[in-house]
Structure 1
Amino acid sequence: MPKGKPIIVGSRGSKLALTQTNWVISELKKLNPGVEFEIKKISTSGDKITDVPLSRLGGVGVFTKELEVALIKEKIDLAVHSAKDIPTEVSEKLTLGAMPKRVDPSDVLISAKNVTLERLPGNARIGTSSLRRKAQLLALRPDFEIVDLRGNLDTRLKKLEADDLDGIIVAHAGLIRIGYTGQISEIIPFEIMLPAVGQGSLGIEIRKDDERINKILSKMDDLHTRIAVEAERALLAKLQGGCQVPIGAHAKVLNDEVHLEAVICTLDGERTIRDSHKGPANQAAAVGNELAQRMLDNGGDKILQEIRQNFPKQMP
């Protein structure tokens, strides 16, 4: 690539995706003065199919596949993803060149009357497209009526009123990034709801053999974020989970150890397996694998088999 040629950055076209991508570019410009960047918007199958619950789409990479194809074909030089959307198995031609410092991975409640989950009325209608959120909500309050909610953040916020919902559940990180934190009714504690694997983090994907781009990204990598997300992704890979499976996990690095907590739930929230594990930070993947195996042995395998029978893959 000629030195003066702009670096082409692939991004989904939603407000949140573009905000994240523009932030990444702004940071990279500070770290690499004189380097120019250009955004190429790419629509993914997850963006195009908005009338089907995520759990019914099947397959993996519904928000990343088209960006990865563009990377491999050299139509873009890097792709900015929400880390929670990145499949646990990445093409051998690609790699995560950088993971910037994580933003709060918690889920939050935005309620019509600005009350907490505990104070919502009986049989409250809660909007979410996530089976993970649904299962943990029902584990807390079996009376909740869960309404499927798809679309970008602005769309979901509008549906709170338009669909007569009592509340919606979204990621705190997304609201932080687009400046909507004033609408939050409650930051949901991890004791009630563990987040999606990688939630709150960004993953910047590049071609594995692209030394120039790798060098440009290297200073943006946050080691603690990478270690924590590596542990979470190893757990998810071992459990063979995706959008169809109610799995929550959160890891953090304390001193030289990575601490990982995870949950597997039945769809109705009646049965949950929750466990934690810790180990050396430089063995994050092993910590994730070991915790996943323990959870499978303690009944997680049976729960996951039941769920997969309810959600056959409908898309490649």
Structure 2
Amino acid sequence: MPTPPRESRLPGRFIIGTRGSPLALAQANEFASRLGAAHGWDGAELPLDVIRTTGDAIQNRALAEAGGKGLFTKEIDAAQLAGTIDFAVHSAKDLPTALPPGLVVGGYLPREDVRDALITRGIARLADLPRGATVGSASLRRQAILRRARPDLAITLLRGNVGRRLDKVASGELDATLLALAGLRRLGLADRASGILSIEECLPAVGQGAIAIVIRAGDPAAAAALGRITCRDTGHALAAERAFLTELDGSCRTPIAGHATVAGERLHLRGLILSPDGAASAEGERHGSVTEAAQLGADLGRELRARAPAGIYDPA
């Protein structure tokens, strides 16, 4: 059923826009639960509007070939700008570096575990996969890191929701895949992880494990409601990570990883860019105050762009 225009809604009622995958719905319901608990609202006051995106419809090719990260957000952006939804719930790693004019990230929920999980049929370590094992992934970052660690592996494209990816391994069609541990936990599927890769083994994607809440710029009611549940430390970490990605003009065509941690008022950021085959890379880190988060990210992005081996960095 179409969402009613903003003017016809009940006072104080907010509509939440989300994709329809099981993980997207789990994240939207987590947001609704947190927001409702903070304000004493029941589910009827925070209905979900499930929106199918272009990215959901494309399953047989890499996102870079189809247009990049915005494929998972543009239909939701349009609904938000039209006023038919108030909040948009996104996996932070799916957000483009620049949002459409009129939309802003209002904040982030507390971040989940950022590590990647290894999915196999009983093998807990990447090093123990058989020589020539077939590993499926849609992430250029994961593909490049896998190729760097194990050049012998056969890497193939694997798109689709978490359940489909798990099934491909369980059926024997693939020997392994990598999935975000955060997503498995939110779906109650953490027991399907055969092993967990350390951050040193597999630096996460920018935004991995974080849920971003987008609102309209100049919507004080939504901003005030959201202010009770957003996580300060996650906000600082993502400010650094997204500034790093922005400086690299990060699209879906360059393998890029970035992860920031916050301890009190201090922030530590690590960044990595790789060639698609994993053979060449540039990495670095920054330490500083959380008040300098965006500057630290931008500085590291510029450094890695300048130090990137020939052919590794191509924002075009």
Does the TM-score normalized on the shorter chain lie above 0.5? yes
Aligned to 1:151: 160
Distance 1:217 1:98 in 2: 7
Q: CA deviation at 1:60?
A: 3.9
Tell which deviates more after alignment, 54-63 or 194-203: 54-63
Aligned to 2:192: 183
Aligned to 1:7, the other structure's residue is in SS state coil
Distance 2:311 2:236 in 1: 29
When the two structures are superposed, what TM-score results if normalisation uses the length of structure 2?
0.93
Aligned to 1:130: 139
Q: CA deviation at 1:51?
A: 1.3
Match of 2:25 among 6, 12, 18: 18
Asked if 1 retains the 8 angstrom alpha-carbon contact of 2:63 and 2:69, the reply is no
Unpaired runs of at least 5, structure 2: 1-6
Alignment of 1:232-251 (within 5 A): 232-251=241-260
Q: 1:209 to 1:223 in 2, by over 3 A?
A: same
Alignment of 1:232-311 (within 5 A): 232-299=241-308, 302-305=311-314, 308=316
**Cα deviations by residue, 1:130-153 (Å, 9 ceiling, x for unpaired):** 110000011101001101100000
**CA RMSD, 1 decimal:** 1.5
Aligned to 1:262, the other structure's residue is in SS state strand
Q: CA deviation at 1:72?
A: 0.3
Distance 2:59 2:172 in 1: 16
Distance 2:171 2:66 in 1: 25
Asked if 2 retains the 8 angstrom alpha-carbon contact of 1:106 and 1:195, the reply is yes
Q: CA deviation at 1:302?
A: 4.0
Aligned to 2:239: 230
Residue identity opposite 2:108 in structure 1: M
Tell which deviates more after alignment, 1-10 or 112-121: 1-10
Distance 1:112 1:147 in 2: 18
Distance 1:220 1:178 in 2: 21
Aligned to 1:136, the other structure's residue is in SS state helix
Unpaired runs of at least 5, structure 1: 309-316
Aligned to 1:171: 180
Residue identity opposite 1:30 in structure 2: A
Q: 1:11 to 1:134 in 2, by over 3 A?
A: same
Aligned to 1:67, the other structure's residue is in SS state helix
Q: CA deviation at 1:3?
A: 5.2
Structure number with the bigger relative contact order (C-alpha 8 A, sep ≥ 6) is: 1
Distance 1:300 1:59 in 2: 24
Alignment of 1:101-112 (within 5 A): 101-112=110-121
Pair 1:62-2:68 in alignment: no
Q: CA deviation at 1:221?
A: 1.0
**Cα deviations by residue, 1:123-181 (Å, 9 ceiling, x for unpaired):** 11111001100000111010011011000001111111346211111111100100101
Distance 1:177 1:92 in 2: 31
Q: CA deviation at 1:92?
A: 2.6
Residue identity opposite 1:108 in structure 2: A
Asked if 1 retains the 8 angstrom alpha-carbon contact of 2:109 and 2:231, the reply is yes
Aligned to 2:90: 81
Match of 1:96 among 81, 84, 105: 105
Aligned to 1:311: none
Asked if 2 retains the 8 angstrom alpha-carbon contact of 1:113 and 1:166, the reply is no
Distance 1:118 1:303 in 2: 25
Residue identity opposite 1:10 in structure 2: G
Residue identity opposite 2:14 in structure 1: I
Aligned to 2:308, the other structure's residue is in SS state helix
Asked if 2 retains the 8 angstrom alpha-carbon contact of 1:112 and 1:165, the reply is no
Asked if 2 retains the 8 angstrom alpha-carbon contact of 1:12 and 1:42, the reply is yes
Aligned to 1:313: none
Asked if 2 retains the 8 angstrom alpha-carbon contact of 1:137 and 1:269, the reply is yes
Aligned to 1:33: 40
Q: CA deviation at 1:198?
A: 0.3
Aligned to 2:312, the other structure's residue is in SS state helix
Aligned to 1:62, the other structure's residue is in SS state helix
Asked if 1 retains the 8 angstrom alpha-carbon contact of 2:118 and 2:195, the reply is yes
Q: CA deviation at 1:58?
A: 2.4
Distance 1:134 1:299 in 2: 18
Tell which deviates more after alignment, 233-242 or 2-11: 2-11
